[in-house]
């Protein structure tokens, strides 16, 4: 076997790594455990902790520990851990790097390629952030596949079947309708919510505990980060207990000290009451099930099997409600925690050209409709932002669609193109995911044709190009580039940071060194100007120098670049 591509389930709560060995999937264990909790932390001795150890210190040091980072993927936020700030990509990269190390130890070879699963309902920005996390961790993400699709791949069935994959994890919910026939796994429709999962159930119980403490002890416990970390953990434990028993007692001794008295929590929670707390969420998942069924042009009676994926499907109300809806008992044949990683490994093996028993061809779809806006009519009236869908949800990947548009005025030089995700007739009610301007059109009368081409690759990532039909003049973007693409130097910097965290030898790039050097030269220059500057300018300069020094010590290249720009402006102004 030449090249090994690993399959990774990068989950909100837990992550796993798998490979195909001798034609069979192996989930790789670390110290006897197949599951790595998706927790990252910094220990007392400033060492990086990933997995179980980070999860264990979460209660003691919530400020030094990060959980559920997947929920922040694709956002611009930076997250604080032990007084340093990290992008969601960097934290996910730490988890990926640990998984990579676990697999490398197991096969005794270095690994550089992976298939990573993402929720079917992940947006472009979230997918791109996942790919960036891989890159930071030193893994080329050769394919991203949707989690429910991966689950279906790991599910062996001989006959032609319509399967409903209901995937409720820690932070996301997806439902997919999958056809399996002659070894071809074809996703025909999918729907979901990438911000709904078991974490929300925990939150409901935690809110209930907070309210109880408020009523019982007149204390707002939310002010204590430590107490809240314990409450969140107790809430999750209670939730799991309620999957197996009708009642549980939530007990936390010495939870909080208040006016010299300690609060000892002891609160009974019944499954019935818990189910009432989460019923709206469960209803929402069932509505999504019907949207997916409609999308597939199927009815409840057409579904042969219901496959449950994700830890939260162990909540009994999930199976109960699905049974009521379908008159069919959902099946958990493959371990719901491991089948996604198993499917990723199967896809990875197929890409690597490995021999694999019952190998399947995978056909995946886009869960979103994409389009642009144009002048048109909405509800019988002239409207400048009418939505023009171009790629429809549930279309198989990869695909490319082109639509014809026309310039508005004679000699029009510029067209502004906005790309939206959604289905509302009014473009402004959809999510704008990209925008670009095409300049330099040839002189032509109004109504000259412009072709707008939207392409989705196998990973569900969108590229857009506009072409002037008569001249062939073309302008293109990849949507995720516009939203969250790291600058090249930021990517390199992130890689170095993560290598440093893992105690690996880091060859600092001259690029990063150069930026820091320039910052130091700039500070020297600014300090020379201090004597002759007005009080106001002096204050500004001192603030900027402080911001630059902070950015250097916290490794924040974005803030560093920004602050250097501002200090340069002041210097330029004082010198001119």
The tokens of 366 are what?
Answer: 């886009």
Beta pairing, strands 184-193 & 173-181:
antiparallel
Clarify whether 70 is annotated catalytic: yes
Helix 535-553 / helix 510-529 crossing angle, nearest 10 deg: 160
Token duo for residue 551: 């950015």
Our finding on whether 13 is near ligand AMP (CB under 6 A) is yes
**Chosen residue from 312, 319, 347, 354 binding ligand AMP by CB under 6 A:** 312
- Stretch binding ligand AMP (CB under 6 A), from 304-312, 362-370, 388-396, 438-446: 304-312
Q: What spatial distance separates the first Cα and last Cα of the chain, rounded to whole Å?
A: 66
User: Shortest gap between Cβ of 158 and ligand AMP (angstroms)?
Assistant: 27
Q: How far is the CB of 70 from ligand AMP (least distance, A)?
A: 8
Give the C-alpha distances (Å, rounded to integers) separating 463 from 57, 190, 476.
43, 21, 7
Contacting ligand AMP (CB under 6 A), which of 4, 12, 64, 176? 12
Burial class for 378, CB neighbours closer than 10 Å (0-12, 13-18, 19+): middle
Give the residue with the Cβ less far from ligand AMP, 281 or 383: 281
CA–CA gap between residue 423 and residue 405 (Å, rounded): 19
Among 74, 134, 148, 311, binds ligand AMP (CB under 6 A): 311
Query: How many other β-carbons are positioned within 10 Å of the β-carbon of residue 260?
Result: 5
- Size of interface with ligand AMP, in residues (CB under 6 A): 19
Q: Which is nearer to ligand AMP, 114 or 309 (CB)?
A: 309
Residue 199 interacts with ligand AMP (CB under 6 A)? yes
> How far is the C-alpha of 394 from the C-alpha of 192, rounded, in Å?
13
Of 34 and 525, nearer to ligand AMP (C-beta) is 34
Q: In angstroms, give the least distance from the CB of 244 to ligand AMP.
A: 7
Q: Minimal distance in Å, beta carbon 404 to ligand AMP? A: 44
Q: Are strands 361-363 and 184-193 parallel, antiparallel or unpaired?
A: parallel
Closest CA to 193 of 284, 312, 268: 284
Q: Which residues contact 486 (CB under 8 A, 6 or more apart)?
A: 89, 132, 494
Task: Give me the catalytic one of 124, 132, 147, 186.
Answer: 147
**What six digits make up the tokens of 40?**
């990252």
Among 162, 240, 401, 469, interactor with ligand AMP by CB under 6 A: 240
Q: How many CB atoms lie within 10 A of CB 375?
A: 12
Asked if 11 interacts with ligand AMP (CB under 6 A), we say yes
The answer to whether residues 111 and 141 touch, using CB atoms and an 8 Å cutoff, is no
Catalytic residue among 16, 132, 135, 167: 167
Q: Give backbone dihedrals phi and psi of 258, rounded to 5 degrees, phi first.
A: -140, 120
Per-residue CA distances from 452 to 391, 403, 415, 428, 443 (Å): 12, 5, 11, 19, 19
Catalytic, 9? Answer yes
Establish if 130 lies at the interface with ligand AMP (CB under 6 A).
Answer: no
Query: Considering beta carbons, is residue 197 or 371 the nearer one to ligand AMP?
Result: 197
Q: Which phi and psi angles does 172 have, rounded to 5°?
A: -140, 155
Say which residue the tokens 């040839």 belong to.
442
Q: Does 243 bind ligand AMP (CB under 6 A)?
A: yes
239 binds ligand AMP (CB under 6 A): yes
Residue 30 sits in the site that holds ligand AMP (CB under 6 A): no
Q: Which residue among the candidates 64, 67, 70, 495 is catalytic per the annotation?
A: 70
* CB distance 109 to 233 below 8 Å: no
Contact between 170 and ligand AMP (CB under 6 A)?
yes
Nearer to ligand AMP, 238 or 494 (CB): 238
CA pair distance 397, 124, nearest whole angstrom: 14
Piece of the chain touching ligand AMP by CB under 6 A; list 104-112, 193-201, 213-221, 272-280: 193-201
Binding to ligand AMP (CB under 6 A) within 318-347 occurs at 337
**Closer to ligand AMP by Cβ: residue 192 or 311:** 311
- Scanning 8-16, 90-98, 249-257, 497-505 for contacts with ligand AMP by CB under 6 A, the matching segment is 8-16
Extract the tokens encoding 199.
Answer: 């974490």
Q: Does 371 bind ligand AMP (CB under 6 A)?
A: no
Binding site for ligand AMP (CB under 6 A): 11-14, 169-170, 197-199, 236, 239-240, 243, 310-312, 314-315, 337
Catalytic annotation, residues: 9, 70, 147, 167
């Amino acid at each position: 076997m030449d090249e090994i591509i690993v399959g990774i389930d990068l989950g909100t709560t837990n992550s796993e790594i798998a490979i195909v060995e001798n034609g069979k999937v192996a989930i790789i264990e670390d110290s006897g455990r197949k599951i790595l909790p998706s927790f990252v932390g910094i220990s007392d001795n400033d060492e990086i902790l990933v997995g179980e150890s980070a999860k264990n210190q979460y209660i003691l040091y919530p400020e030094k520990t990060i959980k559920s980072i997947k929920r922040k993927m694709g956002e611009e936020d930076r997250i604080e851990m032990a007084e340093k700030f990290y992008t969601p990509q960097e934290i996910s990269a730490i988890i990926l790097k640990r998984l990579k190390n676990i697999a490398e130890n197991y096969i005794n070879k270095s690994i550089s390629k992976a298939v990573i699963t993402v929720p079917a309902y992940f947006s472009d920005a979230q997918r791109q952030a996942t790919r960036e996390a891989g890159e930071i961790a030193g893994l080329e993400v050769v394919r991203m596949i949707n989690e429910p699709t991966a689950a279906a791949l790991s599910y062996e069935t001989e006959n032609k079947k319509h399967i409903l994959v209901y995937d409720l994890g820690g932070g996301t919910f997806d439902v997919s309708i999958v056809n399996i026939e002659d070894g071809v796994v074809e996703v025909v429709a999918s729907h979901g919510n990438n911000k709904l999962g078991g974490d929300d159930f925990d939150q409901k119980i935690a809110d209930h505990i907070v309210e109880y403490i408020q009523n019982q002890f007149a204390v707002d416990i939310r002010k204590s980060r430590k107490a809240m970390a314990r409450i969140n953990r107790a809430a999750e434990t209670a939730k799991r207990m309620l999957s197996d028993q009708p009642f549980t007692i939530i007990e936390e001794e010495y939870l909080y000290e208040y006016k010299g008295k300690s609060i000892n929590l002891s609160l009974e929670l019944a499954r019935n009451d818990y189910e009432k707390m989460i019923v709206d969420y469960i209803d929402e998942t069932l509505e999504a099930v019907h949207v997916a069924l409609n999308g597939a042009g199927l009815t409840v009676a057409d579904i042969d099997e219901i496959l449950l994926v994700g830890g939260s499907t162990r909540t009994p109300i999930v199976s109960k409600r699905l049974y009521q809806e379908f008159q069919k008992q959902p099946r958990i044949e493959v371990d719901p925690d491991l089948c996604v990683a198993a499917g990723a490994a199967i896809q990875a093996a197929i890409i690597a050209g490995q021999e694999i028993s019952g190998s399947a061809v995978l056909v995946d779809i886009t869960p979103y409709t994409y389009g642009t806006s144009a002048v048109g009519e909405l509800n019988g009236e002239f409207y400048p932002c009418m939505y023009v869908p171009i790629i429809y949800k549930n279309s198989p990947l990869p695909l490319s669609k082109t639509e014809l548009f026309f310039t508005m005025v004679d000699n029009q030089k510029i067209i502004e193109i906005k790309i939206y995700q959604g289905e509302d007739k009014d473009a402004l009610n959809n999510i704008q995911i990209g925008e670009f301007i095409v300049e330099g059109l040839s002189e032509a009368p109004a109504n000259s044709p412009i072709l707008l081409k939207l392409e989705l690759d196998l990973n569900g990532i969108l590229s857009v190009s506009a072409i002037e039909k008569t001249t062939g003049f073309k302008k293109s973007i990849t949507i995720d580039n516009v939203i969250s693409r790291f600058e090249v130097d930021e990517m390199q910097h992130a890689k170095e940071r993560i290598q440093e965290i893992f105690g690996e030898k880091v060859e600092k790039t001259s690029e990063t060194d150069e930026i820091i050097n320039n910052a130091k030269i700039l500070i020297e220059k600014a300090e020379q100007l201090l004597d002759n500057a007005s009080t106001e300018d002096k204050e500004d300069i001192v603030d900027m120098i402080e911001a630059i020094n902070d950015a250097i010590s916290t490794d924040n290249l974005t803030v560093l670049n920004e602050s250097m720009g501002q200090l340069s402006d002041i210097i330029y102004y004082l010198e001119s």
